[in-house]
Amino acid sequence: MALILKTERLVLRSFDPAFYDSFVAMNKEEEVMKYFPAPLSKEESLQFIDRINNHYKDVGFSLYAVLLASNNTFLGFTGFMTPSFDAFFTPCIEIGWRFKKEYWGNGYATEAATACLKYAKEQLGLKEVFSFTSIHNKKSEAVMQKLGMQRQENFEHPKLDKTHWLCAHVLYVIQL
């Protein structure tokens, strides 16, 4: 598993089977998945891991496992994906994050994402990164704001029915 980044408290690595059980458990947490249509089954999490690993193989970057540097505990993920839907801002690169509930409130998501954006600029040569979430997901939007991302116009997620409570999304962008 490749070491991607180190921060003061965290280590970011490419996904590895050692993290799969923790990843599956995180995606089953109701509160973690509150702003997604549903928690993920084990099968769905394993398919997601395939997407993460294939994205890494195809373009050289992806979502990364975020571990506590002091003891290698799996906390969650942060990193980049290519959205799989059409919208006025796609194709694009998206930065995203998801952490086990017990690790929220420590600044880990912002610390990991700050390092990812620096890496995107300096190592990956990306020029622009987007982020989006449900208009109700204030904790995720707060991370976007702490990263210095700029709010764009809201959009309706094309994979959700217009009447679904999660359809309306905020959109942020940062030029690197």
Ligand X SMILES: CC(C)(COP(=O)(O)OP(=O)(O)OC[C@H]1O[C@@H](n2cnc3c(N)ncnc32)[C@H](O)[C@@H]1OP(=O)(O)O)[C@@H](O)C(=O)NCCC(=O)NCCS
Q: Which two tokens stand for residue 79?
A: 């990193």
Residue 155 as a binder of ligand X (CB under 6 A): the answer is no
106 lines the binding site for ligand X (CB under 6 A): yes
**Binding ligand X by CB under 6 A: which of 5, 75, 109, 117?**
109
Give me the torsion for CA of 35, 40, 45, 50, rounded to 10°.
Answer: -70
Site for ligand X in 129-148 (CB under 6 A): 133, 137, 139-140, 143, 146
Neighbour-count burial of 68, counting CB atoms closer than 10 A to its CB (0-12 exposed, 13-18 middle, 19+ buried): middle
Please report, for the chain, how many H helices and E strands are present, in that order.
4, 9
With the C-alpha atoms ordered 86, 51, 171, 95, is the resulting torsion angle positive or negative? negative
Shortest Cβ 56–ligand X spacing (Å):
19
Span from 12-20, 59-67, 103-111, 157-165 in contact with ligand X (CB under 6 A) = 103-111
**Is residue 116 part of the contact set for ligand X (CB under 6 A)?**
no
Q: Which residues contact 70 (CB under 8 A, 6 or more apart)?
A: 9
Instruction: Return the closest-CA partner of residue 61 out of 125, 131, 7, 146.
Output: 125
For position 20 contacting ligand X by CB under 6 A, the verdict is no
> Quick one: which of 3, 46, 47, 107 contacts ligand X (CB under 6 A)?
107
The yes or no reply on residue 62 touching ligand X (CB under 6 A) is: no
The least CB distance from residue 116 to ligand X, in Å, is: 12
**Which stretch in 51-59, 83-91, 99-107, 154-162 sits in contact with ligand X by CB under 6 A?**
99-107
Residues 63-92, interacting with ligand X (CB under 6 A): 76
Element (H, E) at 5: strand 3-6
Q: 65: which strand partners?
A: 13, 77
Binding site for ligand X (CB under 6 A): 32, 35, 76, 96-99, 104-110, 133, 137, 139-140, 143, 146
